[in-house]
Chains A and B, each alone.
Chain A
Amino acid sequence: DSGVTQTPKHLITATGQRVTLRCSPRSGDLSVYWYQQSLDQGLQFLIQYYNGEERAKGNILERFSAQQFPDLHSELNLSSLELGDSALYFCASSVDIGAGDETDTQYFGPGTRLTVL
Chain B
Amino acid sequence: EDQVTQSPEALRLQEGESSSLNCSYTVSGLRGLFWYRQDPGKGPEFLFTLYSAGEEKEKERLKATLTKKESFLHITAPKPEDSATYLCAVQANGNQFYFGTGTSLTVIP
Interface residues of A (CB under 8 A from B): 2, 4, 33, 35, 41-45, 48, 55-56, 58, 88, 90, 92, 97-98, 100-102, 104-111, 113
Asked if B31 contacts A108 (CB within 8 A), the reply is no
CB distance from A101 to the nearest CB of B (A): 8
Interchain CB contact (< 8 A) of A108 among B32, B41, B43, B91: B43
Asked if A42 contacts B102 (CB within 8 A), the reply is yes
Interface size range of chain B in the complex: 20 to 34
Interchain CB contact (< 8 A) of A97 among B45, B49, B95, B101: B95
Chain A residues in 8 Å Cβ range of B100 = 42
In the bound assembly, the distance between CA atoms of A55 and B94 in angstroms comes to: 9
Interchain CB contact (< 8 A) of B96 among A4, A43, A45, A107: A45
Q: Which residue of B lies closest to A98 (CB)?
A: B95
Asked if A43 contacts B87 (CB within 8 A), the reply is yes
Chain A residues in 8 Å Cβ range of B36 = 108
CB distance from A19 to the nearest CB of B (A): 19
Chain A residues in 8 Å Cβ range of B102 = 42
Chain B residues in 8 Å Cβ range of A35 = 99
Chain A residues in 8 Å Cβ range of B42 = 110-111
Chain B residues in 8 Å Cβ range of A33 = 97
Asked if B49 contacts A104 (CB within 8 A), the reply is yes
In chain B, positions 39-56 with a C-beta closer than 8 Å to chain A are 41-46, 49, 51
CB distance from B26 to the nearest CB of A (A): 16
CB distance from A107 to the nearest CB of B (A): 6
